[in-house]
Amino acid sequence: MKKTNRWRRFFEKAILAAAIAFFIAVVPLPVWTPNWFLYWQVPATIFVFIVYIGKLLIDTILFHNK
């Protein structure tokens, strides 16, 4: 696979992940949601997003997909 195709796939997946993370961070929650979840919703979303971007970078740079 060409190098440009790998980076294109990386950016497509990263943009999709950013859109999903944004949606999860701003989605209105039901009234019955526990207070502890309200404090951890955005930080947990950002943590998972950063870890996923790191995984995408490692896969893009180090491993060649066929």
CB atoms within 10 A of CB 24: 15
pLDDT at 66 exceeding the cut of 70: no
Q: What is the pTM of this model?
A: 0.80
Q: What angle do CA 45, 51, 63 make, to 5 degrees?
A: 145
- 44-56 residue pLDDT tens: 999 999 999 999 9
* pLDDT given at position 28: 82
CA atoms within 13 A on the CB side of 58: 6
Inter-CA distances, 41 with 17, 50, 51, 56, Å:
16, 14, 16, 23
Q: Which amino acid is at 31?
A: V
